[in-house]
Structure formats: C-alpha cells, structure tokens
Amino acid sequence: MNANLDPLAVDRQFFTSLIEADFQSLDRLLARDFMLIDVMSGSEITKSSLLAVMGSGQVKFEAIEPTENLVRLYQTTAVVTGRTQMKGMLGDTPFSVSSRYTHVYVTQQNGWRLVAAQGTKVLPVPEHQ
C-alpha cells in the first residue's frame, strides 16, 4: 500500500476486500485499533471481531455499491463520506441495506489505514398515494 495512493482508491479497496472476503487485504487496510459502528445494530466491532465474523462465514457481502463519495484531507488524516447499497447474507438470512457512511483514514506504516467506520441506515422514502 502506498501513502500517495488516493484515499478514495483505498476506500474502494476496503469494500472490494469485504466482498471478496480477502482477509489479508483487510488486515493491511485496517489499523490495529480499528473500530466499526455497525450499520444494522449500532454495535462496536473491533478489527479482530470483524475478521472473525467474516472468517466464520456469518456475514457475507454479495455487493457493495458506494456512491456520492467525498474525500476531505487533513494532513495525515482523510475523512471519506458517501452512500452505499449493500447486499449479502447474515447467517442464512439475506439482507439489503442502503446507508450513509463515514470512514476515517490515517497514514500509518507508509499507507492509509482505516481507523474508524460508521454506517447509518437510510430508510426508503415512502411513496405518496
């Protein structure tokens, strides 16, 4: 991973690693003290917990489509915000969720590392009858 790489490219790499269940890439992309605030439950999920739940097959991502991305750079920190449409399996139950997200990256070990991620579920707009 290259520190000069665009943080948005690293963010896309993160989503691709989730879909492909690429644990080596996830291990490199996530900071040791990474914390995820889960989009579905609001739970705090550490790096080791995320890798464990994905490794167990409990959570499988079939598709993650990021849109409306915005990157703000602050010296050695990048804040990436956007929207996603995600589909996958939670155990034997399929899920589909729209969200807005915030990812915070810092430069560590000559590359961008994801230190914090939060997703907020976006409810569909009700149709007027």
Domains annotated for the chain, with CATH where assigned, are 7-121 (3.10.450.50)
Using alpha carbons only, give the angle 19, 116, 47 rounded to the nearest 5 degrees.
60
The reported pTM is 0.88
87/68 Cα distance (integer angstroms) = 18
Give the CB-side neighbour count of residue 3, counting CA atoms within 13 A: 8
Give the chain's mean pLDDT: 91
111-121/30-37 β-pairing: parallel
Whether residue 67 has pLDDT greater than 60: yes
Using alpha carbons only, give the angle 80, 86, 92 rounded to the nearest 5 degrees.
140
Tens digits of per-residue pLDDT, 80-123? 999 999 999 999 999 999 999 999 999 998 899 999 999 999 98
DSSP secondary-structure letter at 58? S
Tens digits of per-residue pLDDT, 2-55? 445 799 999 999 999 999 999 999 999 999 999 999 888 889 999 999 999 989
